[in-house]
Amino acid sequence: MASADVIPRHRTAIRRFQYSKPISLAVSHRLIREDCTVLDYGCGRGEDVSLLQKNGMKAEGWDPHFRPNVPLRPADVVNLGYVLNVIENPSERMETLRKAYALALRALVVAVRVDQSLDKGIPFQDGLITSRGAFQKIYSQSEFRHFVGETLGVRPHVAGLGVTYAFKEKAEEERYVADTAFRRTVNYQKDAVEEFAADTLGAALIAHVREMGRLPLDEEFDGFAALEENFGSRARIARLVWKTVHPETLDEVQRQRRDELLVALAMIRLQGAKAMLFKMLPLDVQADIKSLWTSYQQSLKESDGFLFGMGNPALVKAAIDGVSFGKKLPEDFYFHLSQEPLLPPLLRLVVFAARQIVGDIECDLIKVSNDGRKVSFLRYPDFDRVPHPELKYSVKVYLPKAAHSFRDYGDSTNPPLLHRKEAFLDELHPDYQRCTELTACEEALGLLSRTDIGFRNGWQAALREKDIAESGYELIAVERDSD
């Protein structure tokens, strides 16, 4: 086996005070957990190791410059984070990757930089010399995935941009695939209903409705004003009451669970895995399948139908047309991340397929083209805080080519911004009412008629033209300076 110190000794170590991206993903995906050991191979100063140890994990790190005397021992999970980029010799990159994989008992986490901002460096061999004088091999996502798969002879699982998992232990891979497919999403609607039912006036109104069979009139219930102050409009209160008094029927629950399982089974196939043995499925999933299908094979056959539907633009367009939320444009359909669990099964599969190319992208809105061939993940850091959040970056995935592009607006002086934010919120969302009222006010003032308001400069010009300033979700008249 080659020597362990093929990692360049001059590699710069970055001081951090939180998990690196690959470690953070591995923790969130439960690859790294309390029952396993971790080796950070090329750990720099060992910030990830220290943080893992503080959180009760059995972690150790080796680095040729900062920790050369730490003995290299196999571990359940090995992290090879941002090491391959700085190795100039291609054969040494392969040697390092194989060495790290050999030390992994369950899984290897591999991370490389795919930062497009580095493409301004000086070309050198198959990489670049950055402005700091350091070598960087810049990978594309598909090139990186292919390199890991070909070098190790396994199927890499994409966890994020520039992050993949290579499994050594079959059981660990099956657990990860099952977790990814059968993960249930908590819906904020349930929280809103529970909060309303726990409120004293909310519970009193629910009792009135159960007794009367309808919403009481204002003179029959004197708590409407207080409820509207705490929970929003009368229409929103009615929805909360209805969802409590008339919970979903058993048939509806079974239909939703059936769709969830069909999507999950199709997701497993999209990850390149064979259909899991029935006995390897989680026990609650086994019970659901037994109650909803005559056989496991029948459920697998139906899930395959979803996969074929992804390649049919007409079926994708029909699924989008049937959605009652989000924002629909002639070419694309936008929706908020919180609404993803509410998508029809086919659209959920389309989004999942995009994540198989770029992994878990931090985003607020998702855009799907009407033919299902393109999916974009849009990040608005202030989405929950301001009425017109600005776009920080977008990652567009081209499904037929298994490729992606990245646009960064972080340093832009004129980034895109959102209007009509209520289009991306459910009526039960706490901000829905004030977003709706703000949009109505902006329309009445003629602020939304200009064609350039989709960018910061155009929107600010529109406000100046009308002598208006923003203050949170309110618009304030501004007096012009007199000559």
The two tokens of residue 12 are: 């710069």
The dihedral through the CA atoms of 431, 437, 440, 445 has a sign that is negative
- Kindly give, in sequence order, each residue whose CB lies less than 8 Å from that of residue 6, ignoring residues fewer than 6 positions away: 87, 92, 95, 96, 99
Cα(189)–Cα(427) distance, rounded to whole angstroms? 9
10 Å CB burial of residue 64 (0-12, 13-18, 19+) is middle
Q: Which of 350, 343, 282 is nearest to 311 (CA)?
A: 350
DSSP notation for 92-131: HHHHHHHHHHHHEEEEEEEE----GGGGGSEEETTEEE-T
Q: What is the mean pLDDT of the chain?
A: 84
Domain-by-domain residue ranges, the chain? 21-168, 199-245, 313-408, 430-477
Nearest-angstrom CA–CA distance, 230 and 242? 18
Angle, helix 296-309 to helix 345-358, in steps of 10 degrees: 70
Query: How far is CA 316 from each of CA 27, 319, 330, rounded to the nearest angstrom?
Result: 34, 5, 14
Token pair for 194? 């529970």
pLDDT of residue 186: 40
- Contacts of residue 370, defined as CB under 8 A and 6 or more positions apart, other chains included, come to 313, 316, 317, 320, 330, 331, 332, 333
Say how far residue 28 (Cα) sits from the centre of its chain.
12
Q: Provide the pLDDT confidence category of residue 376 given band limits of 50, 70 and 90.
A: very high
Pure H helices in 278-328: 283-292, 296-309, 313-321
- Residues 301-339: tens digit of each pLDDT: 888 887 778 888 999 999 999 998 899 999 999 999 888
CATH architecture classification, 21-168: 3-Layer(aba) Sandwich (3.40)
Confidence of residue 472 (pLDDT cuts 50, 70, 90): confident
pLDDT of residue 377 exceeding 50, the answer is: yes
* Percent of the chain residues past pLDDT 70, beyond the cut: 87
| Alpha carbons 111 and 10: distance in angstroms, whole number | 19
Residues 22-42: tens digit of each pLDDT: 999 999 899 999 989 999 999
Q: What are phi and psi of 141, to 5 degrees?
A: -60, -45
Taking the CB of residue 67, how many other CB atoms lie within 10 A of it?
17
Most trustworthy range by pLDDT among 110-124, 173-187, 230-244? 230-244
* Structure confidence at residue 483 (pLDDT): 53
* pLDDT classification of 252: cutoffs 50, 70, 90: low
Long-range contacts of 448-457 (CB under 8 A, 24+ apart): 448/419, 448/420, 453/419, 454/416, 454/417, 454/419, 455/414, 455/415, 455/416, 455/417, 456/390, 456/413, 456/414, 456/415, 456/417, 457/413, 457/414
Question: Tokens for 193?
Answer: 């209903």
Tokens of 436: 């709706």
Are residues 280 and 174 in contact, defined by beta-carbon separation less than 8 angstroms?
yes
Tokens of 97: 């990757």
